[in-house]
Chain A
């Protein structure tokens, strides 16, 4: 039970991160490595705010806005300074490591006896003591759902249409009389805002910040997006955003199973890499099959 709860909790937290990765990777076609820096950035900002005594609810919008600012920087480096997409992310990721240490103060900060979004007067009053162990997972569920619905809503606005168009065919965005660079910057901002929001919740669920949590965050996000989108391709009743979150929970489930089976914790990164490779190969096969049926053009190689 504890294991299942932990998988659901972490799966949904990383699901929010995966929503951000979905925007950059699938919609913008931009391999954004900023994620490895913006995820711990959200966490660092959160522990700092909480140790300063800020109300826990404030951390959520603050982390989103902070992450959006980070994404905007990546976008500006790419669009205005014309640095390649991959390199823009690497530059930001590298720089953020130091920024995160500055924001948090040190590489490890604990917030065990502080108020968090999971443990404060209001929340404790709402949830009866008997439901204590489900409190965290339910709160995460609500936040994830809100993030998902907000993203779904945005994607169907005029501005969201432009975001979808720019990854698809940026020529048409210029034809519509809109600066395509600006649209990309907006997309990267929203994506990294979501990633940072994920980091914010993660820090509060773990009740600590650790500088190394960003390492491999982008891989977890990519794996979740690819599992979600390729597994539920045929399930038209599911929106892509839902598929991505479910993909993230499944991914966390696989990792938990591997750990449960007694695999050395040091091997986890290697297992992640191999798992990711297998997922890529499987989803590529599917892509080829659908291509031969002429259903979709395979511009975006996985």
Chain B
């Protein structure tokens, strides 16, 4: 279970650009939930993910994972139990390493990176088997540099790499936003499959309201650092895209967008 309790976050404190994003922000994500988060630009969605992952510090508040406060933990330590896929496909992979090397390095997460061989030949077939269901022919390109792959292929690989080892949370930061509609659809279906199969607790930030409604079992809309819509379970299952779109338009108009 992930709990954000009484989070305060000020950007540029003490300057004219001071911006108070979170005032006493709280959110609880229970185990096994697949939460879709929507909201306009600047509503604090990505900041929230960065706060969970430790990429930005908070001024006040608690971040609890299964009751343990991780606020003081360094970002890389927190990410040992978190998998993250970014909007930019190049952030989740190493372009100058091959697919096999990328998968090997991801497979070693949580174990020491010592002077043992980087690639375990015995696992190549296992990696191929993981790539085959993607239907992107990546299983035949194990020796190809990831930099030569398309954005969609890289993102599929990044998703696999993020979920290869046992993790407590999967964080998806607009991970389909940089892809064409068809590829985005493929990646989204793949995400749903991986999350269901492994039962990973997932937080997905998206600008695609349809994805937010179609996938996941909880939907949150954020606005100016607050959760303004929170629907889970039965309630979430009945939500229509139009309804969310309506709320979205209304708050946007209030803001003068």
Chain A residues within 8 Å of B, Cβ to Cβ: 154, 156-162, 164-165, 168-169, 171-180, 295-297
0 or 1 for each of B52-64: is its CB under 8 Å from A? (1 = yes)? 0000000000000
Asked whether B96 lies within 8 Å of A158 as measured between CB atoms, the reply is no
* Bound-state Cα–Cα, A162 to B118, Å: 9
| Most central of A173, A177, A179 by chain B CB within 10 Å | A177
Chain B residues within 8 Å of A, Cβ to Cβ: 74-77, 79-80, 83-84, 86, 90-97, 101, 104-106, 108-110, 112-119, 147-148, 162
Query: Can you list 8 A-B pairs with a CB-CB distance of less than 8 A?
Result: A160-B118, A161-B105, A162-B105, A168-B95, A177-B109, A178-B113, A296-B147, A297-B95
Asked whether A157 lies within 8 Å of B114 as measured between CB atoms, the reply is yes
* Bound-state Cα–Cα, A57 to B22, Å: 63
Asked whether B105 lies within 8 Å of A156 as measured between CB atoms, the reply is no
Contact A165:B117 (CB < 8 A) given known A172-B93, A177-B76, A180-B76: no
Chain A, Cβ-Cβ closest to B101: A161
Q: Which residues of B contact A160 (CB under 8 A)?
A: 118
* Bound-state Cα–Cα, A238 to B106, Å: 28
Asked whether B94 lies within 8 Å of A168 as measured between CB atoms, the reply is yes
Q: Which residues of A contact B119 (CB under 8 A)?
A: 156
Asked whether A156 lies within 8 Å of B92 as measured between CB atoms, the reply is no
Asked whether B76 lies within 8 Å of A174 as measured between CB atoms, the reply is yes
CB distance from A234 to the nearest CB of B (A): 15
CB distance from A254 to the nearest CB of B (A): 29
Asked whether B93 lies within 8 Å of A169 as measured between CB atoms, the reply is yes
Q: In the complex, given contacts A171-B91, A175-B84, A176-B113, what are 7 additional A-B residue pairs having Cβ atoms less than 8 angstroms apart?
A: A156-B119, A158-B116, A164-B97, A172-B91, A175-B92, A177-B80, A295-B148
CB distance from A174 to the nearest CB of B (A): 5
* Bound-state Cα–Cα, A295 to B145, Å: 10
* Bound-state Cα–Cα, A216 to B75, Å: 39
* Bound-state Cα–Cα, A159 to B112, Å: 9
Asked whether B105 lies within 8 Å of A176 as measured between CB atoms, the reply is yes
| Most central of A154, A168, A172 by chain B CB within 10 Å | A172
Asked whether A177 lies within 8 Å of B110 as measured between CB atoms, the reply is yes
Q: Which residues of A contact B118 (CB under 8 A)?
A: 156-158, 160-161
Q: Which residues of A contact B76 (CB under 8 A)?
A: 173-174, 176-180
Asked whether B113 lies within 8 Å of A171 as measured between CB atoms, the reply is no
Contact A165:B97 (CB < 8 A) given known A176-B105, A176-B106: yes
CB distance from A166 to the nearest CB of B (A): 9
Asked whether A169 lies within 8 Å of B91 as measured between CB atoms, the reply is yes
Asked whether B74 lies within 8 Å of A179 as measured between CB atoms, the reply is yes
Number of A-B contacts (CB under 8 A): 86
* Bound-state Cα–Cα, A109 to B163, Å: 59
Q: Which residues of B contact A176 (CB under 8 A)?
A: 76, 79, 105-106, 108-109, 113
Asked whether B96 lies within 8 Å of A161 as measured between CB atoms, the reply is no
Asked whether A157 lies within 8 Å of B117 as measured between CB atoms, the reply is yes
Asked whether A158 lies within 8 Å of B105 as measured between CB atoms, the reply is yes
Q: Which residues of A contact B105 (CB under 8 A)?
A: 158, 161-162, 165, 176
* Bound-state Cα–Cα, A122 to B155, Å: 58
| Most central of B76, B92, B110, B114 by chain A CB within 10 Å | B76
Chain B, Cβ-Cβ closest to A159: B113
Q: Which residues of A contact B109 (CB under 8 A)?
A: 176-177
Q: Which residues of B contact A296 (CB under 8 A)?
A: 95, 147-148
Chain B, Cβ-Cβ closest to A181: B76
Q: Which residues of B contact A295 (CB under 8 A)?
A: 148
* Bound-state Cα–Cα, A172 to B101, Å: 13
Q: Which residues of A contact B113 (CB under 8 A)?
A: 158-159, 161-162, 176, 178
Q: Which residues of A contact B91 (CB under 8 A)?
A: 169, 171-172
CB distance from B72 to the nearest CB of A (A): 15
* Bound-state Cα–Cα, A154 to B109, Å: 19
Asked whether A161 lies within 8 Å of B92 as measured between CB atoms, the reply is no
Q: Which residues of A contact B96 (CB under 8 A)?
A: 164, 168
Q: Which residues of B contact A158 (CB under 8 A)?
A: 105, 108, 112-118
Q: Which residues of A contact B101 (CB under 8 A)?
A: 161
Asked whether A169 lies within 8 Å of B74 as measured between CB atoms, the reply is no
Contact A168:B97 (CB < 8 A) given known A175-B79, A297-B147: yes
Q: Which residues of A contact B94 (CB under 8 A)?
A: 164-165, 168-169, 172
Q: Which residues of A contact B77 (CB under 8 A)?
A: 177
Asked whether B75 lies within 8 Å of A174 as measured between CB atoms, the reply is yes
* Bound-state Cα–Cα, A176 to B158, Å: 12
Q: Which residues of B contact A297 (CB under 8 A)?
A: 90, 95, 147
Q: Which residues of A contact B148 (CB under 8 A)?
A: 295-296
CB distance from B96 to the nearest CB of A (A): 5
Q: Which residues of B contact A173 (CB under 8 A)?
A: 76
CB distance from A58 to the nearest CB of B (A): 24
* Bound-state Cα–Cα, A42 to B101, Å: 34
* Bound-state Cα–Cα, A168 to B96, Å: 7
* Bound-state Cα–Cα, A176 to B94, Å: 12
* Bound-state Cα–Cα, A169 to B95, Å: 8
Asked whether A171 lies within 8 Å of B116 as measured between CB atoms, the reply is no
* Bound-state Cα–Cα, A178 to B147, Å: 22
Q: Which residues of A contact B162 (CB under 8 A)?
A: 175
Q: Which residues of A contact B75 (CB under 8 A)?
A: 174
